[in-house]
Structure 1
């Protein structure tokens, strides 16, 4: 946490860090996630000196968004994630499909 942050942000950081560690996230990654989340919230509420455009112009805060943009990076979800989704939807032939075929079968 940056020096001079409020007690509220300190509590928020600890809560997020502990939640991530309980989910099995490594300690370093949990700290990173907590710091990024808290810093973004600080930027949105005008508590930080500098802020990125996405931090201040997002329509939803990170907790409200709740992973809405997860897996939309360059490569998207992994084959295992796509397979799990196909399994939930009971798609036939999923075990022999590659990542692109799974994506197509799921309509992505």
Structure 2
């Protein structure tokens, strides 16, 4: 738990962690899930900077299920020209054509 969390956020973290432990998760996994949940809510509330991902998404996820940003990053890895102006469907088609 970061020291910058409020008492309410620490209580929420502990509640989520306990809930995950009750479901049979390991201590490490329960802590990770709880921290990610609280941090996500802090980002959505504007309490922390919303750092966008530089990733390309889970490689086992269908292209349609990835975000436009993830598709842009993937297109950049494949050196697809004109990607910055492409819509999601166009990015998916270009990526499939490239493979």
SS of the residue corresponding to residue 47 of structure 1 reads coil
- Separation in 2, partners of 1:7, 1:73: 38
> Which residue does the alignment assign to 2:43?
43
Q: CA RMSD in A?
A: 2.2
TM-score by length of 2: 0.52
Aligned in 2, Cα 1:14/1:51: closer, same or farther, shift over 3 Å? same
Q: Give 1:81's aligned residue.
A: none
Counterpart in the other structure of 1:21 = 21
- Stretches of structure 2 that go unaligned for 5 or more consecutive residues are 63-99
Distance in 2 between residues matched to 1:46 and 1:8, nearest whole Å: 16
Q: Distance in 2 between matches of 1:43 and 1:7?
A: 17
Equivalent residue number for residue 104 of structure 1: none
- Runs of 4 or more consecutive aligned structure 1 residues displaced over 4 Å after TM superposition: none
Question: Paired residue for 2:60, among 74, 81, 97?
Answer: 74
Equivalent residues in 2 for 1:87-106, closer than 5 Å: none
List gaps (5 residues or longer) in structure 1: 55-71, 77-108
